Structure 1
Amino acid sequence: MGEFLNLPISKIIYLEDLNGWEQRTLEILRGDYFPERALYRGIKKDGSIIYLVCYSKRIIYEGKPAVQTVIIDITKEKKQEDVIRHLQRVESIGTFTMGMAHDFNNILQVIIGSAQMINLKVQRGELKKEDLEKYLDNIISISNRGSELIKRLKIFARKEVPSAEVFEFDSLVSTVVEILKTLFPKFIEIEVKLNSKDVKVYGSKTEIQQALLNIAVNARDAIVEKREKKLLDGDGKITIETCVKSISLEEANIFKVNPGRYVCVSVTDNGVGMDEETKAKIFEPFFTTKKPDIGTGLGMSTVFGIVSSHGGFITVDSKLGEGTTVSFYLPVFESKEVLSEAEAKEEKSKSAVMVISTDANLRRVMKSFAESAGFEVLFSDDKVVAVKVLSENLDKVSLIFIDSRTPRLSLKDTIAQLRILKPDVKIFLLYSTPETAEIEGITVIENPDEDNRIIDIIKGANIEKKEIS
């Protein structure tokens, strides 16, 4: 272990992943958005490749910002996961083969028919230049269509390590829809509603295409099953819709993800639907309601693995006999926007005070004090929210008041995290507690609801900000 800890990072992380490691580390130190969990390839002593999952956070080490990382070797689990995903791709290829066979039969009929007409006209001595050009054009055009079908099939047959990139989500969904329209039966209508224009995601396009494809294939099979049981009135219908949604802290805790903006794609079908017992098992590996020669039960477990590895989550809504909606959410890639000069001046002129407290009465008093001094008030009730609020309002917040009595709030840790984001921010503690006695260099205000010094402190900060501006 000692030898490992003394190794430079270039001897631990695989060369091609090293830049990603360094970039993520810089983002953590700066307080920018970063995924808490990241996967990298590592190098063993013998030069072989292993897979490492890294959990990182900002800390203060010897008075300076630093990054603390826990590294876990998941090589065995990753190889098992890769086998399952590849098996699922093979299953998908088998599923598509039946649909593609019909298309290729049509392609061959055009090629054979055109070739036979050329041969017949040559034998009769009736072949004209314009006829030859027409038949050759038919052959070339339909052959290109066959080539395009092969390219689409190869997308899902590949077995390389997927690379991550930034891409437009609606564009990816459109690509998958084109594949589905080519391969799905004509009695199934595919309706598309794209509502996340220009929204981008960071991740593996191949894997996310695979996830959406798996869900759509399940929707198709549910409609086919309903039709075979003669329960389908009219044609089948699959609706694929995208949207953007803000996930609150409460929702994030439920789904075990980070709060923020997420892009969602929903696939709704009018197939057989599921009862609650079936719905509870759909993400279990090898669980399937299909016949043994149709499915292996790897489809939805693969979807779950892909979405989770991208920091997202899945919801399922289904009613037996009516249909199913499966939605998955992925974090939006947020690029830093450049404000116009007028917007920049307006933003700069705004000032805000942040108050960390769960006490409603104290919040009301602090809001009154701040607004009387011309300040906006931003509230948070724990460290996680406070860090997020400050990171989004670095130019506005110049004062932070922390209620020392706030439950489950580590004052030292909270202050350290806030000062990493904004070293010059002024922090005041409200009320004395045993923990405040251990903190040096920060003023404690004993009775904030009765202390007029708070108004003077806020007004003083406003004057300082104007002078600096």
Structure 2
Amino acid sequence: MTQTSFRRILILNSYHQGYLWTDQITDAVRNQIAPHFQDVEFYIESLDAKRLHSEALTQNLLQNLKLKYRNTRIDIIVTSDDDALLFMRRFHDGLFPGVPVVFCGVNGEENLRGIPRQHFTGLLEVLDVKPNLELIRRLCPETDKIYVVSDSTTTGIALRRLMGDAARDFPDIRFIYLKGEELSTDELIQQLRKLDRTSAVFMNVWFQDKNGSFIAYKDINPMMSRNCPVPIFGMIDMLIDLGIVGGKMNSGKTQGREAGAMALRILKGEATPASMPIITQSRNEYLFDYRQLVRFGIPESALPPGSNIHHRPFSFYEAYKGLVWGVTSIIIVFLVMIITLVINRRKLQTAKAQLIESRRNLAITLDSIDEGVITTDISGSVTSMNPAAERLTGCSIQEAAGKPFDEVCVLYRSGADEPIPSPVTGVIQSGTVTYLDSFSLLLTQDQQKRHVADSCSPIRDEENRIQGAVVVLRDATEEFALQEKLRQSEKLRSVGELAGGIAHDFNNVLMGISGAAEILESETSEEGKRFLNIIRDAARRAASLTSRLLIFSRKKQLVMAPVDTHALLNHTASLLSHTVDKKIIIQIKNEAPLSIITGDDSQLQNAFLNLGINASHAMPDGGSLDFSTRNVFLDQGYCEASPFDLTPGDFIEVEVRDTGVGIPPENLRKVFEPFFTTKEQGKGTGLGLSAVYGTIQSHSGAINLYSEPGKGTVFHIYLPLATGASPETHPEMEVCHRKACILVIDDEDMIRSTLQAMLESLGHQVLTASDGLEGLDSYRAKAASIDLVILDMIMPRMNGRETLEELRKINPELRILISSGFSRGDEVRVLQSKGRCDFIRKPYIRQELIAALNRLMD
């Protein structure tokens, strides 16, 4: 993987450019490092030590490098051969302080003395002198003299020293040194011409003779070969092909490759010079020139295993050995193939039949599933569709084939106007499975929008290459609608909590208003009574509004009893006939064989009245309002899928149908929301249908509607049938049966005042307390004379439930009338179950209070 940062690499060579050894090292270093960085620059500097070498030149180069690189940051330095290492060891801190150095081509470990290992590492140029001497004795067993050719350069002297060390292991051979500081090039050639057949030559280096004349290796080696009657061996691979037999040779390519790999690790931060040991092992290979082997009669069989031979003449068998053996074997293989083909043909026929069957089964499966399946090619064009996809998109495969996927399937995010990008494009590019956004919208060919879900996956061939994509679309329209209903139900439940909380304070105020109006009635003139009636009527209307809030919130305690739905609908129709426009025809079709339910008849009648009045508002020019019933059975699956809390069983379905203007689609999901109304300001509270919704919920039923603009609206109400019950009759209210001493405990001053006046007007003796603690103190003081306690449920310091429990501890037989504008039905029923306890909801009128007192006192 390439790196993005810029890198500068300095290569410092001991010798000059154009010298094959140096060029091999430079090219190998480049090839190791360059592919790993996007931006890298190599700086090449040469000491030219083969041809020129002096302290003056060294100092001149030092100053040149200081000037040249004073403003250039070098990331790493690679040196080749001894002179460059010695130069950098001497001037590193002054020229490139802290810059890592990797060396190669170094001839002796003595040149490593004094190098700072924290910055320097690399590899030695291991010259396999002893293996090469053993090679000469092996290939030329008659040899008893070896002439060693070397000049006085740093490399030449180092090689001569190595040769001298190794010669001690060969006492049977005499070593004669032809030194560059003692001979001219012509004298060297004259010496070589005189050698006899028991001699061999070992070529180290010859760049300068005693006259200081420089001669290139490309010139000296062919010259030596032409004038030497015995084999010439060497240790540096650049000499091969220039007239030497060969040897175990050191390579500039190998040195550069190893140095470049070490430098790359440092540049990548994988290692530091100090953490990388200096490589001292040999990396050399046996190389030979075939032409020289033939010249001196050296057989290939005598060469070390794995030797690399240059200039071997072309051999058809050697070059095409595989082909020869292949052709030889092909006849046998051909016979085997004929037999195999016969067998495979039968297998292929069987596999083809299985494939056809598999495709047929796949087609049947795709045609049978409900999910739409669409496939595309690598360009994103549709190639196939199953019937479910055709139904879902409204487009046949004949129409869709070859078209881009996003033309056949236009997808939108739910609630957004802009189409989303085609999932096929992303899947083909990334090769990963993509899942559509939850309930994305699909625009069908007839411009309808359907909610869809599911996924898009890549199609791959046997070699894991992407060939296209497959899109699976599941119609989630009904599921989305169900979730919308669930969210609506949760919203109504949340707002209901708020509605219930308001009811308590509101009903206290209404209790004060209506109670005061009843008390003033007996003391007011006829003209004043007219205004009192207005006050009482306003209080009743406000109480009705509060009642609707409580019904909506399911906080109002219902008076549950057997109710005949048919009688209730008949009574509702009678009331509506005196209320709505005479142009509206009301019809009742009571067709359900079973009509008895358990419920609160007043609340149910209010619900049906609300539906009827709303329907009349939708028919300003007249129309038809129909009530009809039938019996249905709701099974487990229907009840679980419904957003209402239903129990499977027998229900009565009440259908309320009108021929009015209908409800716009955008308002259908809002009609049951509290305070939502399309009426003008002052003509509706927006609590009618929300109260109906709450009433049906509180009766363990369900309600839904269907409406189209201009075609009317239909409400379907489902109420569970009662078992073994019949409607109750309600006795007439009575007057107060007996007089009593009553303790009123309520935190509202106006409630205490109006209730005290109302009770005293009925002949009762009244005591009052502003909260539970004060009420307990009053009761303890006069427990013997108090017959009954009227107790508010919501009070500061000590609430009604806590107060009731404390009163029971004092007198378990005490009669208590719970009075509240808002209380949880379950809590009241628990308190009533303990005996001698009743409940009356605020606001109430005098007759309701008398009835409650009579029930307790009797």
The two structures have a TM-score, normalised by structure 1, of 0.37
The two structures have a TM-score, normalised by structure 2, of 0.21
Q: Max radius of gyration: which structure?
A: 2
